[in-house]
Structure 1
Amino acid sequence: MHAAPDPIVAIATAPGRGAVGIVRVSGRGLLPLARALTGRTPAPRHASYGAFMDADGSPIDHGLALYFPAPQSYTGDDVLELQAHGGPVVLQLLLARCLQAATQIEPASGQALLPRLRLARPGEFTERAFLNDKLDLAQAEAVMDLIDASTEQAARSASRSLAGDFSREIERLTDGLIQLRMLIEATLDFPEEEIDVLSAHDVRGQLLKLQQTLRDVQARARQGALLREGIQVVIAGQPNAGKSSLLNALAGAELAIVTPIAGTTRDVVRQTIQIEGVPLHVLDTAGLRAAGDAVEQIGIERAWQHIEQADAVLWLHDLTRQHDADYAAGEQHIAEGLATRSAAGVPLLHLWNKHDAAPDAAVPEGGIALSARTGEGLDALRQRLLQLVGWQGGAGEGLFIARERHLQALARAAAHLEAAGDHLAGAAPMLDLLAEELRLAQNALGEITGQFSADDLLGVIFARFCIGK
């Protein structure tokens, strides 16, 4: 267990007014501070009601004090929580009182109650929980993912990661790698028994099993990443194709202005919706065309930028104008733009809008006929979107939340296992290179839980937390 460098304090509830607000302190030897603030010695893990006193003995507020002695606390150090009324001024007064009381001289020792008590940095409470082995790194990240969850499915998946589901999968893979490494290292120590050891312990079979298990974890992690990050979907098309109407229909609200005037949408309109618990960040963009005034051209260029960064693009066609020559030229202009820009690799879904106004119009194979006005085709669109980004329906209940860095670490581990298989193949296996690839694969997995992690990585991760957590 790592010793905390100094005690920290912060307001642990969100800014603004609320029924309850919490000031949290973490460090060692917090009982003298608790007595100075409350006039009593709180019993461990019991809520006690009373006054929180200012320096002159007058009450700042009345509320609950909870004391969690180390190591049975969130951070692994002593933790003191003061639950007061959730007014910003009250909480600031309590915070200032904690810092002031910490400098008081304790009569018994002649020393300050808590020398060096300071304001906590963002994420520092959870960082201490990680450093004191209360949470691994994947669980610590899941704390913030649970707070930031934008859908019920994402919240449930983050809760599974916080409970250790993802970490246990990584541990299971790591244990298998360690067992395999032990066999290879033993074989290197006794080279005369090389072939017997490899065949007797089915090293190839064990490696193949590890690779399959890793592929399964990767598939679930990719699903978890979709739940966390969501899908960036851009609606593109010519002016008056119905892009804003489609955004409104998907969102179920009048978010974007809809008029018959071409070029009404000048800038991006954003809305987050969800399909089967997967967040979709839908962007309605300016109509794409070669002409237009200077302001509209800025909007069009921004539309292309968002298209290039999208996870999926919905190209909205107008069934009522498909035989118009000018409209056909505009479609060709968009097709050329999609082919020549870096948007060429972005998944594209063709939508044929205004089917209610042109029910007999032919819809090309692979496209979806819809009406943003009546809602026709919206259910089919939602399902195709999920398929387009690789969402596996019905898998949500067993998913854990995952981040991009987790996916990258899993991909590196998979590449090292693939290289290990190459070194094992053939009549004369290269066991020293095989052992090195297994070691690198284990290190990549260790980065996920924090077993192998650089200090700068920890700084980046915890700096994104809120203060007080």
Structure 2
Amino acid sequence: MLARHHDPIAAIATAPGRGAVGIVRVSGRALQPFAQALLGRALQPRHAHYLPFAGDDGQPIDHGLALYFPAPHSYTGEDVLELQAHGGPVVLQLLLSRCLQVAAAGALAGLRLAEPGEFTQRAFLNDKLDLAQAEAVADLIDASTEAAARGASRSLAGAFSAEIHALLDALVHLRMLVEATLDFPEEEIDFLRKADAAGQLARLQQLLAGVLQRATQGALLREGIKVVIAGQPNAGKSSLLNALAGAELAIVTPIAGTTRDKVQQTIQIEGVPLHVIDTAGLREAGDEVERIGIERAWDEIAGADAVLFLHDLTRQHESDYASADRAIAATLQGTLPAGVPVIDVWNKSDAAPTPPPAAAPGHASIRLSALTGDGLDDLRRTLLQVAGWQAAPEGVYLARARHLQALHAVDAHLMEAAAQLHGSRQPALDLLAEELRLAQNALNGITGEFGADDLLGVIFSRFCIGK
């Protein structure tokens, strides 16, 4: 896709289906002759013109608005023509076909259909957006909660990029000092000590810690967490899913093994998406269908960000039940990756006034009733806590997993740089300079000032066609 970024492109820019308005967008260089040939008149920049969109027989396909945005004052940084018509799929396809037909007749050589994300990719290539802002376009479209949409909007406005550039400025200044010391070894002046290089590095690490904390919160807003409800049959897993979702999603009966396959619902708590999955009851099953459901339950558990281990308070004193719970707990410990939290949820508090047993080491413990809702708020707060969510300040912006990976890489390089700087009376300045260079490269990769073409291709290929 990058090799063809000089071609003029066209696409339907609105979502598939029917609507009041649909848009066909064309982007390229010097679109004035094409617009004249297509519409039969010149267009005044940035003015809406109401006119007929004629077909090849001269008859109107539709009547609508045409807008022309000359470069560089457009979304892509190129000339952009937008045709706003009635939002029917047939009408828009006819308009798009007419654009390609007029272009093929000589009005715009090389016009082709846009690939996914190509309009936004051109905005990035033409310095209208950096890469983090370009990704925020897709995040804003895909936002599943109000908080995520607000965070994506802040990223699109450049809040995240501004913090990355502040880190870069401080890092480049520190690199300059180190490189100067390397370039002039004959000078006896201790550049680094006089310029407080150690203090600059410490302040840079402190600044990075704040950015990383906010980016982690932003990644939670964007991605959410996968929460799997696990436990023995009839512990109330399906009832808990229904209570959290506020809807009857899963079938609830007194019959053990009612849930044979996973049931999933995304809910939000304080704007954070939680992908909650109800699974089959864990036990030794002779029924083949139930056995498959239990295998799938363990597969979901293995990929969870948090597990709600559901227990039945009314049966906690039954030796067979307690033994089965211990077996599940042992299997959980061997199945879950290190660091995945397990919350012991003691259900049916409405029917069992006795307190639950002591929580397992490292486990949070919640007593609740999925039937009455008592204790659900405590569970919601605990889920946010184990996910690492903090009360979202207004300045939180959306971030992606690749941004966190880059920031963690920067943190590792700066830690190694600090070790080189403080490790001996005579720092290894060449190694210190290399760590700072690698940290800068990682930061540049976030905004796209440094990045491989294949990375850009993957990012933009996940956009919709019209973006």
TM-score (structure 2 length as normaliser)? 0.96
For 1:40, the equivalent position in structure 2 comes to: 41
Question: Partners in 2 of 1:339 and 1:281 — Cα distance?
Answer: 22
Shift of 1:186: 1.0
Partners of 2:76 and 2:128 within 8 A in 1: yes
Check 1:16–1:327 CA distance in 2 against 1; reply closer, same or farther (3 A cut).
same
Partners of 2:43 and 2:67 within 8 A in 1: yes
RMSD of aligned residue pairs (Cα, Å): 1.4
Are 2:82 and 1:81 aligned? yes
Matches within 5 A, 1:35-434: 35-104=36-105, 112-193=106-187, 196-343=190-337, 345-365=339-359, 366-395=364-393, 397-425=394-422, 426-434=424-432
Shift of 1:196: 2.4
Give secondary structure in 1 for the equivalent of 2:15.
Answer: coil
Shift of 1:192: 4.0
The one-letter amino acid of 1:250's match is L
Deviations 1:185-212 (A, max 9, x none): 1111222446621221100000000011
Deviations 1:250-301 (A, max 9, x none): 0000010000000000001010000000000000000111224111111111
Give secondary structure in 2 for the equivalent of 1:315.
Answer: strand
Question: Partners in 1 of 2:399 and 2:10 — Cα distance?
Answer: 30
Give secondary structure in 1 for the equivalent of 2:190.
Answer: helix
Partners of 1:6 and 1:27 within 8 A in 2: yes
Greater CA drift, 14-23 or 182-191:
182-191
Question: Partners in 2 of 1:275 and 1:430 — Cα distance?
Answer: 49
Partners of 1:363 and 1:369 within 8 A in 2: no
Partners of 1:289 and 1:333 within 8 A in 2: no
Question: Partners in 1 of 2:288 and 2:143 — Cα distance?
Answer: 39
TM-score (structure 1 length as normaliser)? 0.96
Partners of 2:347 and 2:370 within 8 A in 1: yes
Shift of 1:363: 4.7
Partners of 1:319 and 1:353 within 8 A in 2: yes
Give secondary structure in 2 for the equivalent of 1:388.
Answer: helix
Deviations 1:309-367 (A, max 9, x none): 11100001000011112212221221121122245642100100000001234453441
The one-letter amino acid of 2:382's match is R
Question: Partners in 2 of 1:281 and 1:363 — Cα distance?
Answer: 28
Question: Which ranges of structure 1 fall in alignment gaps of 5 or more residues?
Answer: 105-111
Give secondary structure in 2 for the equivalent of 1:368.
Answer: strand
Partners of 1:146 and 1:159 within 8 A in 2: yes
The one-letter amino acid of 1:341's match is T
Question: Partners in 1 of 2:356 and 2:389 — Cα distance?
Answer: 29
Question: Partners in 2 of 1:404 and 1:76 — Cα distance?
Answer: 28
Shift of 1:33: 2.1
Check 1:434–1:361 CA distance in 2 against 1; reply closer, same or farther (3 A cut).
closer
The one-letter amino acid of 1:422's match is A
Question: Partners in 2 of 1:321 and 1:292 — Cα distance?
Answer: 23
Greater CA drift, 40-49 or 27-36:
27-36
Are 2:447 and 1:449 aligned? yes
Question: Partners in 1 of 2:279 and 2:459 — Cα distance?
Answer: 33
Shift of 1:176: 0.6
Greater CA drift, 24-33 or 63-72:
24-33
For 1:109, the equivalent position in structure 2 comes to: none
Question: Partners in 2 of 1:447 and 1:344 — Cα distance?
Answer: 29
Question: Partners in 1 of 2:180 and 2:330 — Cα distance?
Answer: 60
For 1:107, the equivalent position in structure 2 comes to: none
Shift of 1:96: 0.5
Greater CA drift, 194-203 or 260-269:
194-203
Question: Partners in 1 of 2:339 and 2:179 — Cα distance?
Answer: 44
Question: Partners in 1 of 2:66 and 2:188 — Cα distance?
Answer: 64
Question: Partners in 2 of 1:456 and 1:34 — Cα distance?
Answer: 34
Check 1:195–1:328 CA distance in 2 against 1; reply closer, same or farther (3 A cut).
farther
The one-letter amino acid of 1:166's match is F
Shift of 1:31: 1.7
**Seq. identity, %:** 72
The one-letter amino acid of 2:103's match is A
Partners of 2:346 and 2:356 within 8 A in 1: no
Shift of 1:179: 0.6
Question: Partners in 2 of 1:30 and 1:393 — Cα distance?
Answer: 49
The one-letter amino acid of 2:96's match is L
Check 1:370–1:102 CA distance in 2 against 1; reply closer, same or farther (3 A cut).
same
Greater CA drift, 244-253 or 363-372:
363-372
Question: Partners in 2 of 1:195 and 1:295 — Cα distance?
Answer: 77
Question: Which ranges of structure 2 fall in alignment gaps of 5 or more residues?
Answer: none
Partners of 2:356 and 2:367 within 8 A in 1: no
Question: Partners in 2 of 1:127 and 1:194 — Cα distance?
Answer: 50
Deviations 1:354-381 (A, max 9, x none): 0000123445344111000000000000
Give secondary structure in 1 for the equivalent of 2:466.
Answer: coil
